[in-house]
Structure formats: structure tokens, C-alpha cells
């Protein structure tokens, strides 16, 4: 049943009074929230499949488990599914595209041959919807990545192939930024690593640094394209050694002034990326987040509203970093409706940002500065039961997206009318 509009408004008014008592201006919080885009990852829509056919399946240690029916098989289907998800998420957001989702007209275009023309439908679609695009070279699911090495490969020709792919990816990112009038973040993640203890940890890292320097040689205006590099602790098949580890890329990003990508699933299970934001931003103007949820390992579960997510959002908001932190999602769950997976994760990201924007930061910091840690803890705990849900409902209503669980019946309708008709 559709929620009652006047009840939503009444609850919101009461909530505003309650927040005003803490010195929080809800209207201002909602104005800021409307300016923060979340970049939805295209790869949730088809289990990281892409639209090429090199016949090697998902590689790079990435695993999407489940076989829920109805996954997108073509770019048009994927765009349709994304339109559906975007219509259920309040605010204006972005799409994060991987290179192997290009449209190659049935031709075998290898990764070192991709060009902006292969993404022209994506660009036209984004323009029409008024959303920005982000981009990623695809350095996996390819015969030349089959032995687990790409930019750090010992074979110069293979390294060169992936260097060319990444150079072209930056050019595509630039074309996207130009066409859409908003910079594209082009993020490099490579799977390079070893299952067992390496004899040489040094040479692949030296080669990776050299490959990256070659890729980034050509200066590109940050108004069009921003380069990001994504570290990882371990992967399936790279349990003992990952060439592009956190320390490697932190050093690389700081010394070359590139964006560092913090993926929530890429650290030890008890380590959270929220604490890394203020570290990286001491030395870098901007960073990228891959908001994900690891369950015991980098399992890329759908993002839920847990303490990790709330901590990430508060570090962005409380420190005034909304313009310096690019927020992307990165998970892939093939065991539930894929449109719902996008919607749940993205709505949670936006909801976490809202909760952070409703925090009386000045009050908390005042208590801390006065050495009154009792008040700090008491307030932190009391804030957890403030009526943010009423503000969230009001925001959804104001942005013309379903309130509460009402979005689910729309996804069920879409499943029946569209997804169920797809045969794999």
C-alpha cells in the first residue's frame, strides 16, 4: 500500500523539531544530500559478465555466486535494468562502467583496440538521463590475463598489451567527461598476484610502477578524467601475494598525486576503510571509494546499513569531504533479484549519508575538545534512536521515489513483466 503523504509530512515536521534541539538543520542536510552522487556499478546487473566473447568466463579471482533468473544479456537490457534501479533511488547518481561492457557490433575488438565509439550508446543514454559516467579498464576475463598477471607481467609484450588497454581507457574516460560535462573517474584494478609464496616480490612491483607511469604519461585535465588506482590485500588465486597491495598504491598515489581507491572488501576483515579516509586525504586532494561488504573475505555482498557503512558516511560528511570523496559501489550478488541488489545497496549508501548529515558534529566535537568523553559517548548512543527514518521517508517522497519498502512491489512487477521473460 502506498504510504500516506500527510503522515510522512507530519512525522518529518516532528523529526525536524527533534533535530533542531540538537542544533541540526534538516533542510540544509537534505540540500547537501541531493548534491552527493553515488556511482552504481554496471557489473551487478550481469554478474560481471560483460559483452565481449573471449570464451574465458569471469577471471581475476572474482566470483559471483547464485543463479537468480533474469540477468541482463545485452546493453539495452542492462540499461533498462539500470533505469529501473535509478527510478527507485532518491537523488541524481552516476554509472560506473567496465571496459568489457562496450558495444562492439558483433566484431572481435580486443582490449587494446577499444575506443570512445564503442561506448557511444552508453554516453548518449547517460546524457539523456543527466547522469555522469565513471570507467574501468577490464584487466581480467581475458586470455592475456589467464596466468594471473597483467601490468606487472614478466613478458614485455603482455605488459604492453595491458598498458595500451589502460591508455585507451583513460581516453574513453576523457571522452565521457567531455560529453557529459562532469569528470569521469577511471579506476585501475589489476588481479596480479600469486597463490603461493613468491621468490621475488620486488620485480613485479617495479614493473607495475613502470607500467603505471607509462599509462599516465599523457597529462589529462582533471575536469575531464581523474585517474584512480585500487589496492587489494588478497584474492582467490592470489592469497600469498598481491602486486598492487595497499602500501604499493598508497605510495604510488601520493607520489604521483592519483586518486587512491579504498574498497571496503580489500583489507583484513577487522580493518575498516572509514579510518583510512582522513589518512589518504592528508596527502591527496581526492579519493575514490568502492563501497562493498565482505563477509569473512572479499565476498562482495550487497551493502547493508551496518556500522561500517555508517562510519564511512560520517567520515565523509563530518569532515566536509563530500567534494573530495567519490563514492562508488562494488558488489555482485547473483542469488537475488539484481535490480533489487542495486536498489538496496544504493538506498543504503544514501541513507547512511543522510544519517551522517543529521549528526550534531559541532556538539560532539565540542564535548571532545572539552575533554568530556562521557557526553561524547552518551550523545553518540542517543543519536542512534533519533527519527532519521522520518526524514528519509520525506526525502524519498520529495524526490518522487517509493517510500519505505514500496519500491519492492515495483521491482516485483518489473521482474514479472521484464526479467522473467529473459531466457538465459
263 part of the interface to ligand RNT, by CB under 6 A: yes
**CB contact at 8 A, 242 and 232:** yes
In the bound complex, what is the minimum distance in angstroms from residue 230's beta carbon to ligand RNT? Answer: 5
By CB under 6 A, what part of segment 54-113 binds ligand RNT? 62, 98
* Set 98, 118, 266, 301: catalytic member: 266
Please indicate whether residue 232 is annotated as part of the active site.
yes
Please indicate whether residue 268 is annotated as part of the active site.
no
In the bound complex, what is the minimum distance in angstroms from residue 181's beta carbon to ligand RNT? Answer: 25
Cα–Cα distance between 167 and 160 in angstroms, integer? 10
393 part of the interface to ligand RNT, by CB under 6 A: no
Residue whose C-beta lies closest to Zn ion: 290
Please indicate whether residue 300 is annotated as part of the active site.
yes
Q: Mapping DSSP to helix (H, G, I), strand (E, B) and coil, where does residue 55 land?
A: coil
Q: Which residues of 150-168 are buried (b: 16+ CB within 10 A; e: fewer)?
A: bbbbeeeebbebbbbbbbb
Cα–Cα distance between 13 and 5 in angstroms, integer? 12
Please indicate whether residue 210 is annotated as part of the active site.
no
C-alpha cell at 73: 544479456
Residue 410 CB contacts under 8 Å (≥ 6 apart), including other chains: 84, 87, 88, 402
263 part of the interface to Zn ion, by CB under 5 A: yes
290 part of the interface to Zn ion, by CB under 5 A: yes
Beta strand residue intervals within 244-309, DSSP E: 259-263, 287-291
CB nearer ligand RNT, residue 298 or residue 415: 298
230 part of the interface to ligand RNT, by CB under 6 A: yes
192 part of the interface to ligand RNT, by CB under 6 A: no
By CB under 5 A, what part of segment 315-344 binds Zn ion? 330
Sign of CA dihedral 37, 42, 43, 47: positive
In the bound complex, what is the minimum distance in angstroms from residue 411's beta carbon to ligand RNT? Answer: 23
CB nearer Zn ion, residue 24 or residue 287: 287
290 part of the interface to ligand RNT, by CB under 6 A: yes
Q: Mapping DSSP to helix (H, G, I), strand (E, B) and coil, where does residue 332 land?
A: coil
CB nearer Zn ion, residue 24 or residue 62: 62
Residue whose C-beta lies closest to ligand RNT: 189
The string of DSSP codes covering 15-44 is HHHHHHTTT--HHHHHHHHTT--EEEEGGG
Please indicate whether residue 41 is annotated as part of the active site.
no
What are φ and ψ of residue 241, in 5° steps?
Answer: -160, 125
136 part of the interface to ligand RNT, by CB under 6 A: yes
**CB contact at 8 A, 232 and 190:** no
Cα–Cα distance between 312 and 284 in angstroms, integer? 18
Quick one: which of 294, 263, 292 has its CA closest to 276? 263
Please indicate whether residue 155 is annotated as part of the active site.
no
Query: Which one of 232, 326, 338, 351 is in contact with ligand RNT (CB under 6 A)?
Result: 232
In the bound complex, what is the minimum distance in angstroms from residue 290's beta carbon to ligand RNT? Answer: 5
C-alpha cell at 197: 609464496
* Set 263, 286, 359, 397: catalytic member: 263
* Set 43, 122, 189, 342: catalytic member: 189
Q: What does 232 interact with, of Zn ion, ligand RNT, none (CB < 5 to 8 A by kind)?
A: ligand RNT
Compute how many residues bind Zn ion; rule: CB under 5 A: 3
Please indicate whether residue 263 is annotated as part of the active site.
yes
Helices (H), 257-306: 274-283
CB nearer Zn ion, residue 144 or residue 290: 290
300 part of the interface to Zn ion, by CB under 5 A: no
Compute how many residues bind ligand RNT; rule: CB under 6 A: 12
Cα–Cα distance between 243 and 205 in angstroms, integer? 6
12 in the Ramachandran plot: left (φ > 0), alpha (ψ -120 to 50) or beta? Answer: alpha
Residues that bind ligand RNT (CB under 6 A): 43, 48, 62, 98, 136, 189, 230, 232, 263, 290, 298, 330
Catalytic residues: 189, 230, 232, 263, 266, 290, 298, 300, 330
Residues that bind Zn ion (CB under 5 A): 263, 290, 330
Amino acid at each position: 500500500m502506498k504510504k500516506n503523504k500527510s503522515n510522512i509530512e507530519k512525522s518529518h515536521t516532528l523529526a525536524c523539531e527533534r533535530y533542531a534541539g540538537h542544533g541540526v538543520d534538516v533542510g540544509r542536510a537534505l540540500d547537501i544530500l541531493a548534491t552527493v552522487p553515488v556511482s552504481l556499478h554496471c557489473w551487478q546487473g550481469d554478474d560481471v559478465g560483460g559483452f565481449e566473447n573471449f570464451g574465458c568466463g569471469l577471471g581475476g579471482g572474482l566470483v559471483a555466486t547464485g543463479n537468480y533468473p533474469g540477468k541482463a544479456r545485452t546493453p539495452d537490457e542492462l540499461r533498462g535494468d539500470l533505469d529501473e534501479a535509478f527510478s527507485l533511488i532518491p537523488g541524481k547518481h552516476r554509472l560506473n562502467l567496465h571496459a568489457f561492457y562496450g558495444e562492439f557490433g558483433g566484431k572481435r575488438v580486443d582490449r587494446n583496440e577499444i575506443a570512445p565509439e564503442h561506448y557511444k550508446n552508453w554516453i548518449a543514454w547517460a546524457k539523456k538521463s543527466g547522469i555522469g559516467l565513471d570507467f574501468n579498464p577490464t584487466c581480467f576475463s581475458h586470455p592475456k590475463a589467464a596466468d594471473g598477471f597483467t601490468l606487472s607481467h614478466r613478458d614485455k609484450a603482455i605488459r604492453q598489451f595491458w598498458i595500451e588497454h589502460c591508455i585507451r581507457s583513460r581516453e574513453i574516460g576523457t571522452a565521457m567527461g567531455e560529453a557529459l560535462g562532469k569528470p569521469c573517474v577511471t579506476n585501475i584494478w589489476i588481479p596480479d598476484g600469486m597463490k603461493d609464496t613468491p621468490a621475488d616480490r620486488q620485480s613485479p612491483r617495479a614493473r607495475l610502477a613502470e607500467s603505471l607511469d607509462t599509462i599516465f604519461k599523457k597529462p589529462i585535465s582533471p575536469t575531464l578524467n581523474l585517474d584512480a588506482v585500487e589496492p587489494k590485500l588478497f584474492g582467490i588465486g592470489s592469497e600469498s601475494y598481491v602486486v598492487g597491495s595497499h602500501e604499493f598504491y598508497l605510495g604510488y598515489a601520493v607520489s604521483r598525486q592519483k586518486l587512491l581507491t579504498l574498497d571496503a572488501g580489500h583489507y583484513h576483515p577487522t580493518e575498516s576503510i572509514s579510518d583510512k579516509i582522513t589518512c589518504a586525504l592528508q596527502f591527496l586532494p581526492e579519493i575514490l571509494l568502492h563501497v562493498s561488504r565482505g563477509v569473512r573475505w572479499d565476498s562482495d555482498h550487497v551493502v547493508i546499513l551496518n556500522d561500517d557503512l555508517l562510519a564511512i558516511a560520517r567520515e565523509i560528511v563530518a569532515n566536509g569531504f563530500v567534494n573530495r570523496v567519490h563514492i562508488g559501489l562494488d558488489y555482485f550478488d547473483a542469488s537475488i533479484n539484481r535490480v533489487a541488489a542495486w536498489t538496496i545497496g544504493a538506498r543504503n549508501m544514501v541513507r547512511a549519508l543522510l544519517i551522517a548529515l543529521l549528526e550534531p558534529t559541532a556538539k560532539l566535537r565540542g564535548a571532545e575538545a572539552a575533554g568530556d568523553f562521557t557526553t561524547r559517548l552518551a550523545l553518540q548512543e542517543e543519536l542512534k534512536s533519533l527519527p532519521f527514518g522520518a526524514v528519509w521517508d520525506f526525502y524519498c517522497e520529495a524526490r518522487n521515489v517509493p517510500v519505505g519498502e514500496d519500491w519492492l512491489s515495483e521491482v516485483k512487477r518489473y521482474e514479472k513483466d521484464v526479467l522473467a521473460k529473459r531466457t538465459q
